[in-house]
Amino acid sequence: MVVPPWPVVASFAAAGGTALLVRYLWRYRGKPGADWFLASLSAQATWSLSYGVALVTFAEPMRWALEVLSWAAMAGTGVYFLAFALAYTGRGGVVDRARVGFAAFPALVGLIGATNPVHGLAWVDFEVVRVLGVAGATYDMRLWALLSATGGVLLITVGSLLLFDTVVSYGPLYRREAVAVGLSTVPPVAAVLAWLHGVGPVPELSFVTVAFLPHVALDAYAFVGSDMFEFHPATRRVGERAAIDDLGAPVVIVDEQRRVVTLNGAAERAFGVEKAGALTRPLAALLGEEGADPAEAETATVQSGGRRRVFTVTTTPLTDAGGTHVGYTVVFQDVTDERRREQRLGVLNRVPRHNLRNDMTVVQGFTEAAAREVDDPAVRDMLGRAESKAAELVALGEKARTVERVLDSDPRAERVELADLLATVRAEHVGAADANGGRVGTEGTAADEGAEGATVTVEATDAAVTADPAVLQVVVGTLLENALEHAGEAPTVTLSAERRDGGVAVTVADDGPGVPAHELDALSAGAESALEHGSGLGLWLANWGATALGGDLSFDTREGTRATLTVPDGEKREPTGES
């Protein structure tokens, strides 16, 4: 049995290994870059097979034809590998725009080689020589052949650099696999360069197909048994681009000198500019801000399309993979309508409430005076009702002031002893809380009579919490006021506090009929409606205050009403004071 020379065996082995890899990866057709990678491997297999056959073909016409086929396959291997790298790393748009060129380049190289006897652009003085027991070939390459081979090397090099760039920027996912694919091109590229420049002991032979053996091994390591085509960098790259382009808010990327690098469609529409005209312009000039730097401001006002728009500005520094500061991402949020609505609500809120408080105080005073001057019981009763309603409206106005004063103020974080706070709340609503003057119950408890026979008991141990004391006091006071008002005659109300799950739970429990379901439904829905509405601001104030404290407010109405305020304890963080 005659054993073929080792260059022939190596070429056929490279062709067979590549064909097996193509068969394995065939399942990934349609994935980003997969079709182009399969095309590159197919061209590589064709190159290895045709050159292996050429090595045992001494007939010059057939040997020449196989050389032409090898050149066409070499061109396909390089250009298809670049297309794979572009599509795999999320740059498929480049490939789509040049798809015809990528596909036609190998055919063009083959056509130039096939018609070389006519024009001589590829090579001259083609001759078959026997070397190492195989059919080598010598010829002088012309400009076209040199450009084709050099171009193929450059294409593969660029593709490898794209993969290495992905390794650096994409993180640890498939890092070793991407490195293996990039390194796999090194042996064949080195062999091509050596062959082009006649480096080596046998310049009549190309050892590129031999170099395909480690190339195939590295590709097999990268792809066989991994999901490299299932999770690919294209998802991240396209996703990052879509996150900016599809974002409804204007986004502008600027460099360190605040010059526009790119912007999304929303920014073009909002600022009345086109991307091509906006690039390299200062961001301040783009927005019409004279001498101001919008990236350093909290808001920006833009006049565009005959409208004056107000934007909040969020600026985030951009750094490259090495941690070098390269620019900023500036996000604009249109708050024009919100600002106008806030202004209208502010006016509609403060003016009626101010008039309500002042005018209803006057009404209440005149009603009281009139009631003292009349003798008719029916008229006195009507005046008493009017006085009562006036007092309720004045109290409603005061509660609205409390909502604005407490919930719109800067938050604080202080250590609050709940026993003291509950005693203060009790004193505010049922009279002075003097331990010596009130009824003393069990240890740590005290009670006072007040609110038309109501009994309010405080039960608190050493529980404490780090929170805003003003908001906490208002919430508990509002719940107590609600219990005293709606729990019926001579109610019994208990204020208690206990540690619970890393925080505290403050409970206001009464023995009344329970909070009506429609008022709790309004709180759950988050909005008042014509069919489901609360009787006042009390429960809303308690609910908003609980949210401001970062806590939760719940109600149990099975036996009376148990309103429980749960507040997380910020004991481990330093008090922030006024922010």
Maximum CA extent, the chain:
138
Q: Which residues lie below 8 Å from residue 238, measured CB to CB, with a gap of 6+? A: 90
**pLDDT computed for residue 213 by the predictor:** 92
pTM of the model: 0.51
**pLDDT computed for residue 432 by the predictor:** 39
Cβ(260)–Cβ(279) under 8 Å?
yes
What CATH number has the domain spanning 6-236? Answer: 1.20.1070.10
Query: For residue 282, what is the DSSP state?
Result: B
Helix 60-88 with 143-170: angle, nearest 10 deg: 30
CATH architecture assigned to 247-334: 2-Layer Sandwich (3.30)
Determine phi and psi for 449, rounding to 5 degrees.
-85, 145
Determine phi and psi for 515, rounding to 5 degrees.
-65, 130
* Domain extents in the chain: 6-236, 247-334, 349-408, 410-568
Q: Hey, which CATH number is domain 410-568, 1.50.10.10, 3.40.50.300, 3.40.120.10, 3.30.565.10?
A: 3.30.565.10
Name the token pair of 182.
Answer: 């990039």
pLDDT values of the chain reduced to their tens digit, one per residue, 579 residues: 556 788 999 999 999 999 999 999 898 888 888 899 999 999 999 999 999 999 999 999 999 999 999 999 999 999 999 998 888 877 777 888 888 888 888 999 999 999 999 988 988 999 999 998 899 999 998 888 888 888 888 888 888 888 777 655 555 555 677 777 778 888 988 998 888 888 878 888 989 999 999 988 888 887 776 666 666 665 555 555 666 666 778 888 888 888 888 888 888 888 888 888 888 888 888 777 655 666 677 788 877 665 678 888 888 888 765 677 888 888 888 888 787 777 666 655 665 556 666 677 777 777 777 777 777 777 778 877 777 777 767 666 666 666 666 666 667 788 889 999 999 999 888 753 333 333 333 333 444 444 557 788 998 777 888 888 988 988 998 889 888 877 777 788 999 999 887 789 999 998 887 777 767 776 666 544 443 434 456 777 788 888 888 888 888 888 888 999 999 886 544 443 333
The full DSSP string for 14-68 is HHHHHHHHHHHHGGGTTSTTHHHHHHHHHHHHHHHHHHHHHTT---HHHHHHHHH
**Alpha carbon of 479 to those of 7, 139, 150, 388, 417: distances in Å?**
91, 98, 83, 22, 19
**pLDDT computed for residue 19 by the predictor:** 95
Q: Is 42 exposed, middle or buried (0-12, 13-18, 19+ CB in 10 A)?
A: middle
